[in-house]
Every structure is written in C-alpha cells, then in structure tokens.
Amino acid sequence: MPPAGRRINFDVGTRRLVRSRRCRLPAATYNYRLMEISHVRNQLKHAMERARDRAQQRRQRTSEAERAYATFLQDVATPITRQVANALKAEGYSFTVFTPGGSVRLASDRGRDDYVEIALDTSSTRPQVMARISHTRGSRTIADERPLKKDASPDQITEGDVLDFWIDALEPWLER
C-alpha cells in the first residue's frame, strides 16, 4: 500500500502505474486500490469450490434424470407412440415409429423431414424431456423444439401428458 496522501493511478494510454502526490492525469485514468494477495486467493478458492459443487450437483441431477428417462422411454413414451402410430395408420395417415438410442421418433412416410421426436435434453441446468418437431410445407422446413411438459422431470410425465402432446404436435399433419 502506498503511504497516506499518495495516489496510485493507472494511465490507460501507456498502461503504466503513475505514482505521485500531484500528477496530471490523462482523460482516461482510473484510481486503483491494491488488494492483499491473500484476499484475492481466498476469494478465488471459494469461487472454485462453489463451481465444483455446482458441477457435481449438475452431474448428479443429470444422472438421476437419465435413469428416470430410460424408464419413461421404455414404459410410457414408446408404447403410447406405437399406439398413436397404429391409430394414425387406421385413419389413413402413414407414420412409422423409430427408436434410435435414447429417443423415440414418429416420422411421416411421405416426407423425410416430417417427424416428431422425444428426447432428453441435458444441456441446460435442469434436464428435461424435449420434443423436436420438423414439418415441411412446400420447400420450407419448419422446426420447433419445446418441452414435452414444462418444468417436469421424466418421472413426473404421465401417459396422458404424452398423448396430449402427440395430439397437439401432430396437428399440422392432421389438417391436410
């Protein structure tokens, strides 16, 4: 720390510290007060510990969500999707169910870019079941991504929620 009465100024133009009792300061100067290095290091250590704790909690939430999603996919989403596809075929709409790793997709047999897919999104702080909808209209492809059920974990989504989602998501194909 400088003695009392002395100012430490930072000259932005030359990127040097200017020390004097009275100095002419350029227009762009800042008055800095130096901190103890131990205080800076302690703050940095606390920030690193908080970041590690948040990362550990995020990994734990993601792991729990992946286990719940696997059960949801096997017991709820895939059977309801197969039932919806069978009902659509009975009504004259040709859709096929695909189950690529970790998701279920209902694809129209008429266009390769017409599909609705349910998958787990773990990229956000709170993992949730997301739906990707891709629909072609002429030469345009309309893509949408939204949660299957807002702010719900995979184990909170019921068969009724999945059926309501399919009815809503298939509307562009059903209006033809």
Number of domains in the chain: 2
Residue 26 resides in a domain: yes
The answer on 25 and 78 residing in a single domain is: no
The answer on 74 and 18 residing in a single domain is: no
Residue 48 resides in a domain: no
Buried-state track 156-170, b at ≥16 Cβ within 10 A, e below 16:
ebeeebbeebbeebb
Residue 90 resides in a domain: yes
Q: Let me know: does 116 contact 169? Beta carbons within 8 Å.
A: yes
The answer on 146 and 84 residing in a single domain is: yes
Residue 57 resides in a domain: no
Work out the pLDDT band at 176, boundaries 50, 70, 90: low
Residue 43 resides in a domain: no
Ramachandran region of residue 77, left (φ > 0), alpha (ψ -120 to 50) or beta?
A: alpha
The answer on 89 and 20 residing in a single domain is: no
State the average pLDDT over residues 39-50.
92
The answer on 75 and 136 residing in a single domain is: yes
Residue 87 resides in a domain: yes
State the average pLDDT over residues 88-102.
89
State the average pLDDT over residues 71-91.
92
With a pLDDT cut of 70, the percent of the chain lying above it is 81
The answer on 152 and 107 residing in a single domain is: yes
**Containing structural domain, residue 12:** 7-34
Residue 101 resides in a domain: yes
Residue 42 resides in a domain: no
The answer on 107 and 26 residing in a single domain is: no
Number of other CB atoms surrounding residue 121 within 10 Å: 16
Work out the pLDDT band at 126, boundaries 50, 70, 90: confident
The answer on 26 and 75 residing in a single domain is: no
Instruction: Please report which helix (H) or strand (E) contains residue 128, including its range.
Output: strand 128-137
Kindly tell me if the per-residue pLDDT of 25 is higher than 70.
no
